[in-house]
């Protein structure tokens, strides 16, 4: 391919809305263009990376026994009603009506439709296990599409579904997929970690893991134990309950609750400084709205509410969100900074995190502007409707497995595997006949890889100040050949010949034939991120050599033109 023909419109500056490095570079280097919020076009370079990732995914899924199919994107509402997910999926689902007013959605995921398919055509245990997958566009009307391909509303996913005859079989399929996912992300060149996860809207009973590409800009927070194998998304990670404190003072002798005036002290930091009480002695009260109901969620002042735990414990809700300042004003008569658990109106139910429900004296908001309570005691001054683990675990807290202090990292969820049990097959009466001739719902698993998100995650991990640095296995092209002087015919001819030889050896190569200065070409080569750059100049040509530069390490060497193709193809093959 000649650079002069390649449709890779590069930009000097990335649009201001691109907040993270992968989004900026993919736009600047001409890999993608935005169509509308969360919807993108893949330009030739971007599409080539997608095809490479898909290729790796296909090889690994096939090797694990998967068979590729293609399911419909347009799916009838009835199927989703049968599993209860038409309502449960909420505003994230793209819904549409046909000319007869029948309801449909654009598939956000495909458990319903595949279960229906297998129900119709698989009858006997002898046909199991069955592993079916597809690579296709998915549609989710995300609340906040952002970071380019990271969180799109239309995105590419590989989804595989396993059907087994027993729980053991389902566990085997799960283990096989887990291993296949490790192979996919390793081959794509990602630094990743598999973590225990929350099952979210997919649900199911048998456990789930997420594969996290490690990156500071990642939306997910994970904790892991340096001592044992424990690793989990902080959405999921349990908090080890605090040992029950021995009451220092008999309850009857505890001081009564006292009102203190705290002008303008709307944050934990300000209240703490004003009253000289550490954040561990404060209660933080956040007001949430879950569908129709309001909940006051209380955690200790130094902790953060875990919304996934709130949703799983008090919901599930179609939508859970923080109440707006005006709503809190109307309910409590004060702004969010002064809300507290004492004397809440009946319209607001109270749930307290286990750690904050201990019989100790706390400072908390008094539901009155500029006022807090001192010595408010859980159980004496307020009684929660629910007490549960509702907070996020923090770095340094004890590992639930072995007690060692946990470490943390940020990550991008590039894949997730679920052991579903019989959730979907039971709801859709999808059964097979076992050895004894009795009908049993299939034991299912589902497994998703964000193909387009994997591209973005690789770009996020693999870049430097000059541009993208693609891992060779998923690079859009392996090499770029640059004639150092585009006016020197001997040089341009030798460069074209080299490009042809590399191509014949199976190396995907771009010849930068543009009448530009060498410096401009070098800059673009770095921006696009070709793993190997070969420069043919008058001087090296006279020696029968070209200059090879590796994008990742910056290492340069002179190599003979005659053996360049063999040399590079060996490097590429060996990864």
Question: Which residues contact Mg ion (rule: CB under 5 A)?
Answer: 416
Shorter beta-carbon distance to ligand ATP: residue 75 or 109? 109
For tokens 């005859």, the residue is 165
| Tokens describing residue 372 | 């807090």
Among 68-76, 334-342, 366-374, 407-415, which window interacts with ligand ATP (CB under 6 A)? 407-415
Shorter beta-carbon distance to Mg ion: residue 29 or 412? 412
Closest distance of CB 200 from ligand ATP, Å: 5
Question: Among ligand ATP, Mg ion, none, what binds residue 151 when CB lies within 5 to 8 Å by partner kind?
Answer: ligand ATP
Complete edge-to-edge strand list for the sheet that includes strand 362-365: 258-261, 371-376, 362-365
Closest distance of CB 444 from ligand ATP, Å: 15
Q: Are 162 and 118 in contact (CB under 8 A)?
A: no
For tokens 């263009």, the residue is 33
At 57, phi and psi to the nearest 5?
-60, -45
Q: Are 414 and 211 in contact (CB under 8 A)?
A: yes
Q: At what angle do helices 451-461 and 21-28 cross, to 10 degrees?
A: 100
Binder to ligand ATP among 22, 452, 472, 486 (CB under 6 A)? 452
Question: Among ligand ATP, Mg ion, none, what binds residue 105 when CB lies within 5 to 8 Å by partner kind?
Answer: none
Shorter beta-carbon distance to ligand ATP: residue 145 or 336? 145
Question: Among ligand ATP, Mg ion, none, what binds residue 116 when CB lies within 5 to 8 Å by partner kind?
Answer: none
Q: How many residues of this chain interact with ligand ATP, rule: CB under 6 A?
A: 17
> Cα torsion for 256, 348, 261, 263, to the nearest 10°?
160
The stretches of 194-285 forming alpha helices (DSSP H) are: 268-275
For tokens 């502007």, the residue is 369
Binder to ligand ATP among 157, 331, 480, 561 (CB under 6 A)? 157
At 222, phi and psi to the nearest 5?
-125, 150
Question: Among ligand ATP, Mg ion, none, what binds residue 445 when CB lies within 5 to 8 Å by partner kind?
Answer: none
Which residue has the CB atom at the shortest distance from ligand ATP?
450
Question: Among Mg ion, ligand ATP, none, what binds residue 223 when CB lies within 5 to 8 Å by partner kind?
Answer: none
Closest distance of CB 464 from Mg ion, Å: 30
Q: Are 3 and 510 in contact (CB under 8 A)?
A: yes
Parallel, antiparallel, or unpaired: how do β-strands 509-511 and 479-483 relate?
A: parallel
x/- map, 373-402, ligand ATP, by CB under 6 A? ------------------------------
Longest Cα–Cα distance in the chain: 97
User: Helices (H) and strands (E) in the chain — how many of each?
Assistant: 15, 31
Among 24-32, 68-76, 301-309, 411-419, which window interacts with ligand ATP (CB under 6 A)? 411-419
Shorter beta-carbon distance to ligand ATP: residue 142 or 368? 142
Q: Which helix (H) or strand (E) holds 183?
A: helix 167-187
Cα distances (Å, whole numbers) of residue 259 to 23, 367, 575: 51, 11, 68
Residues 74-113 that bind ligand ATP (CB under 6 A): 109
Binder to ligand ATP among 65, 90, 200, 359 (CB under 6 A)? 200
Interacting residue ranges for ligand ATP, rule: CB under 6 A: 109, 140, 142, 151-152, 155, 157, 200, 202, 413-416, 448, 450, 452-453
């Amino acid at each position: 391919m000649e650079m002069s023909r390649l449709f890779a419109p590069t930009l000097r500056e990335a649009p201001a809305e691109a907040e993270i490095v992968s989004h900026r570079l993919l736009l600047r280097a001409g890999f993608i263009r935005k169509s509308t919020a969360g919807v993108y076009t893949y330009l030739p370079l971007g599409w080539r990376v997608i095809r490479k990732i898909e290729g790796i995914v296909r090889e690994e899924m096939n090797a694990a026994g998967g068979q590729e199919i293609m399911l419909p994107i347009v799916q009838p509402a009835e199927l989703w009603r049968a599993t209860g997910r038409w309502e449960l999926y909420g505003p994230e689902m793209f819904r549409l009506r046909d000319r007869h007013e029948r309801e449909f959605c654009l598939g956000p995921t495909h458990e319903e439709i595949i279960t229906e398919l297998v129900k119709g055509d698989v009858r006997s245990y002898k046909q199991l296990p069955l592993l079916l997958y597809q690579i296709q566009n998915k549609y989710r009307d995300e609340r906040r599409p952002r970071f380019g391909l990271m969180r799109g509303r239309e995105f590419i996913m590989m989804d595989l579904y396993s059907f087994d005859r027993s729980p053991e079989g389902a566990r085997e399929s799960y283990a096989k997929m887990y291993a296949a996912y490790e192979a996919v992300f390793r081959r794509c060149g990602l630094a990743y970690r598999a973590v225990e996860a929350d099952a979210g809207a997919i649900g199911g009973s048998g456990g789930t893991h997420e594969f996290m590409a490690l990156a500071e800009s990642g939306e997910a927070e994970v904790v892991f134990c340096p001592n044992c194998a424990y690793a989990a998304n902080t959405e999921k990670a349990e908090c080890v309950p605090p040992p029950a404190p021995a009451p220092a003072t008999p309850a009857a002798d505890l001081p009564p609750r006292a009102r203190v005036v705290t002008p303008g002290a709307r944050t934990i930091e300000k209240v703490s400084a004003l009253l000289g009480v550490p954040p561990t002695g404060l209660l933080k009260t956040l007001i949430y709205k879950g569908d129709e109901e309001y909940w006051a969620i209380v955690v200790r002042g130094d902790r953060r509410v875990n919304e996934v735990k709130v949703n799983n414990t008090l919901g599930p809700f179609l939508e859970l969100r923080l109440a707006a300042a005006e709503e809190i004003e109307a309910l409590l008569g004060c702004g969010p900074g002064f809300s507290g658990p004492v004397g809440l109106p009946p319209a607001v139910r109270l749930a307290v995190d286990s750690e904050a429900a201990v019989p100790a004296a706390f400072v908390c908001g008094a539901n009155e502007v500029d006022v807090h309570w001192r010595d408010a005691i859980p159980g004496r001054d307020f009684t929660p409707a629910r007490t549960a683990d509702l907070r996020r675990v923090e770095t340094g807290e004890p590992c639930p497995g072995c007690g060692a202090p946990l470490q943390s990292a940020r990550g991008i969820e590039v894949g997730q595997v679920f052991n579903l049990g019989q959730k979907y097959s039971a709801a859709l009466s999808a059964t097979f006949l076992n050895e004894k001739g009795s009908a049993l719902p299939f034991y299912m698993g589902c497994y998703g890889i964000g193909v387009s998100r994997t591209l973005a995650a690789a770009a996020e991990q693999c870049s430097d100040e000059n541009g993208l640095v693609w891992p060779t296995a998923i690079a859009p092209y392996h090499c770029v050949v640059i004639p150092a002087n585009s006016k020197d015919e001997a040089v341009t001819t030798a460069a074209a010949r080299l490009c042809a030889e590399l191509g014949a050896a199976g190396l995907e190569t771009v010849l930068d034939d543009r009448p530009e200065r060498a410096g401009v070409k070098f800059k673009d080569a770095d921006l696009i991120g070709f793993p190997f750059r070969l420069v043919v100049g008058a001087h090296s040509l006279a020696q029968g050599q070209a200059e090879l530069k590796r994008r990742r390490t910056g290492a340069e060497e002179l190599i003979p033109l005659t053996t360049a193709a063999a040399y590079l193809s060996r490097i590429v093959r060996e990864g």
